[in-house]
Structure 1
Amino acid sequence: MGHLFRKSYHPPGTAPGTLPEQGAGKGAAQIHLVRYSGRKVVEHEDCDLAQCLDTEGDGTLWCHLQGQPSPEQLARLGEMFSLHPLAVEDVGNHGQRPKADIFDEGVFVILNQPRWDESNLALDQVSVFLGQSFVITVHAGPGDPFAPIRRRIRNTNRNFSGLGAPYLAYAVIDMVVDQAFPILEELGSQITDLEDRVMETPERSTYEQIHLLRRDLLVLRRQFWPVRDMLGKLMRDGEDRFSEEVIPYLRDVHDHTIQIMDILESYREMSASMVDVFMSSVNHRLNEVMKVLTIIATIFIPLTFLVGVYGMNFAHPESPWSMPELHSYYGYPVIWIVMLAIAGTMLYLFRRRDWF
């Protein structure tokens, strides 16, 4: 579970804005450039940072870095676009809490995109810089999630060309937030399946699945709770960065975040109730087993008494207190009939009282 809560730190006393050292086996991030204005769209894949400023044309520049950038890339990026050093430092350090910082240079946003890594929930940090006429995004996870946005730009969506960089920043934030809905749909299916299993077969593996489900819900709640406050800050304090036309779109993302939080709270309550149902089912099964064992023991109590009495074998030919049944010709089958009659009568009475 530690990979969900990982957080990288500098040694105590390190100067603010210090970039992290490059980890072993990590290479530079791939760069995808898009510049669009009106109906003209220019793209460059797997290029160098120098092309960000060399790209000809007006309009909006989108520089996307896929993968974890090297310290050299981060330093160069900060110099080229005059980014605040604290924001550049946060890009290099994973495990950041979702937030929005408003600097003189522009707006800096950090989000965490949820995804499934096989059957485990994983989080990929997404960093967004919004400038006057450019947007820089950094996605630290595997695979590029922003291909649908580039496809919309190629289709000359008028919002992208008319509303500029703020609308592009909104589109990136909206897409990262909406990644939670497929995750929640899958978690909803897991909850439905676990509810059936809890009622039918409350086994240890079922309880472990409930625990994993509650952990995933906690992780998602921890990530999306600050996103709601972050969007409220952008709408409230970022009016000089986001135009009046873009603010309603941010409000729509804010509504999506509220929907996500409502679903998460409902799922958390359902998962908590499943734990109670699981414990009740386990106790019920235990009570059923104990009831059956108690009935069996109760039936054998009088039978044990009879065979104990006749197992004493007190037989004396001249004593009036000896056991006459010991010399009876039909004594053995008679005692079996008596014991079976006692057991049958007790079973009938238990069944009639609905004890089993």
Structure 2
Amino acid sequence: MAIKQSRAATEMVRSRHPRTGTISGRAKTGLAPGTMLFVGERKRERARIDIFDYCSESVREEHDVDVQTCFDFCVDDDSVTWINVNGVHDVALVESLGMHFGLHPMTLEDLVNTSQRPKVEEFPSYLFIAMKMMDFNEISHTVDIENVSLILGRNVVLSFLEDDGDVFDSVRERLRRCKGRVRHMKADYLAFALMDTVVDHYFLAIEQIGDYIEAIDDKILEDPRESDIQEIHYLKRDVLTLRKAAWPCREVISSIEKGDSSVLNPDTRVYWRDLYDHCIQVIDMVETYRDILGGMHDTYLSSLSNRMNEVMKTLTIISSIFIPLTFIAGVYGMNFEYMPELRWRLGYQGALAMMLLIGVSLVIYFRRKRWL
């Protein structure tokens, strides 16, 4: 065991990013299955544990507690305990919780791997659920992604996040104020409420991306610039990130709804079906915006081409007007000795009048042809 830990520490140091402290998946190369090694970016100094313990009559809330306090809570079968861990980089803490709640070594390995694909795994006494939590940053116009792992037991839900920021404040308020069904239902409904909140924020992120796409589309039609292509490229990556997070969720929720795990109650299956429908709507919206972004590149090229055509049209019309005027000026600029017009008293005025007449006639002609 000491050799494995030493090797894991060595690989972790080799694979750590020199500036961000991010540990890549290459650090796990060659390690035995079930070896706990944090993979991802460390986003906080130390881990933090918050607890909600509730039933239909009361709720108890504790913040920034130690591991032993978590063990003291999960003793009453009549109440539901929600243990939220912020900071999965603390491998020792995750391992302590896993040993107490009887989590499989493969589950512990997945808990500290923030690059995990959304999935669900069924074990005799619990369900392991991995999802991606997302938020659209309206300042940088990028999608912020964070891994969320849930452990659903008989009367306990464990949630593991990378950082303090999450989307579960609405669930906390419902627990505090006894709003909705969450205080009257079992732990599986709490897990549903957490997952439903994550999916709802997919809608919010997609709507914000949609507003930004509309703004870029209007900008392209009015004044296309080279920087717009780069913005479209970034938006394509953001939508692709959303797709990678939302698409596997459909399989996750479907597996939960159709599963027969002992920690799932028949009364909550209707809620899982509703969550499945929401996930399908998210996927449809993502695919729609993918198609729109695919067409925006063509729109940019078309707008740029139309703008170039308008410029060339204007220049061509100006050239067409000045060609006959240049011809007249060239003829009378040859200065031959025997040119009778050179001796006319009103020859200069007559040449200007003819040039003006030709120019005005061409402008009127172009307008009637709707070229101007």
Contact in 2 for aligned 1:84/1:105 (Cα 8 Å): no
Out of 214, 221, 226, which is 1:199 matched to? 221
Return structure 1 stretches of 4+ with deviation > 6 angstroms: 22-25
What's 1:153 paired with? 175
Contact 2:321 2:359 in 1 (8 A): yes
Worse-matched range after superposition: 155-164 or 194-203: 155-164
- Deviation of 1:7 after TM superposition, in Å, equals 6.0
Indicate if the aligned counterparts of 2:43 and 2:87 stay in contact, CA closer than 8 A: no
| Cα deviation, residue 97, structure 1 | 1.4
1:37 paired residue among 55, 69, 74 = 55
Describe the SS at the equivalent of 1:10. helix
- Structure 1 stretch displaced more, 19-28 or 296-305: 19-28
Secondary structure (helix, strand or coil) at the match of 2:157 reads strand
User: What residue number does 1:298 align with?
Assistant: 320
Q: Tell me if structure 2 keeps the 8 A contact 1:28–1:73.
A: no
Please tell me whether residue 90 in structure 1 is matched to residue 107 in structure 2: no
Compared with structure 1, are the counterparts of its residues 247 and 272 closer, same or farther at alpha carbon in structure 2 (3 Å cutoff)?
Answer: same
CA contact (8 A) 1:163 1:245 kept: no
CA contact under 8 A between 2:38 and 2:113: conserved in structure 1? no
Inter-CA distance 191–290: structure 2 relative to 1 (3 Å threshold): same
1:102-251 pair list within 5 angstroms: 102-117=122-137, 118-119=139-140, 120-156=142-178, 159-251=181-273
Contact 2:152 2:191 in 1 (8 A): yes
Give the secondary structure class of the aligned counterpart of 1:62.
Answer: strand
Separation in structure 2 between the aligned mates of residue 335 and residue 161 of structure 1, nearest angstrom: 96
In 1: Cα distance, 2:151 partner to 2:42 partner: 27
Distance between the aligned counterparts of 2:259 and 2:341, measured in 1?
Answer: 102
Residue 13 (structure 1) aligns with: 30
1:171-217 CA distance string (max 9 Å, x none): 11111111112222222322333333233222334444333333322
- Partners in 1 of 2:179 and 2:67 — Cα distance? 26
Deviation at 1:68, TM superposition (A): 3.4
Q: Secondary structure at the match of 2:295?
A: helix
Could you say what secondary structure the match of 1:108 adopts? strand
Q: State the TM-score, normalized to the length of structure 1.
A: 0.88
Stretch deviating more after TM superposition (144-153 or 333-342):
144-153
Change (3 A) 1:354 1:24: closer
Residues 332-351 of structure 1 mapped to structure 2, 5 A cutoff: 332-351=348-367
- Aligned position for 2:11: none
Q: Residue 72 of structure 1 aligns to a residue in which SS?
A: helix
**Larger CA deviation: 252-261 vs 24-33:** 24-33
- Is the 8 Å Cα contact of residues 84 and 160 (structure 2) preserved in structure 1? yes
How far apart in 2 are the matches of 1:166 and 1:133?
A: 8
Report the alpha carbon displacement of residue 25 of structure 1 after superposing the two structures with TM. Answer: 8.3
**Structure 2: which 5+ residue stretches go unaligned?**
1-19
| Contact 2:125-2:262 within 8 A present in 1 as well | no
Distance change (3 Å), C-alpha of 1:24 and 1:97: closer
Shift of the alpha carbon at 1:138?
0.8
- Cross-structure match for 1:27: 45
Amino acid in structure 2 at the alignment position of 1:57: D
Q: Whose Rg is larger?
A: 1
Quick check: 1:35–1:57 contact (8 Å CA) kept in 2? no
Q: CA deviation at 1:221?
A: 1.4
1:79 corresponds to 2:99 = yes
Structure 2 distance, partners of 1:292, 1:92, is 64
1:329, 1:166 → 2: CA distance? 105
Deviates more, 1:32-41 or 1:217-226: 32-41
Q: Distance in 1 between matches of 2:46 and 2:32?
A: 24
Q: What is the CA-CA distance between 1:158 and the residue it aligns to?
A: 7.7
Q: Mark the runs of 5 or more structure 1 residues left unpaired by the alignment.
A: 316-321
The 2-side partners of 1:25 and 1:270 are apart by 34
Aligned length: 346
Is 1:54–2:41 an aligned residue pair? no
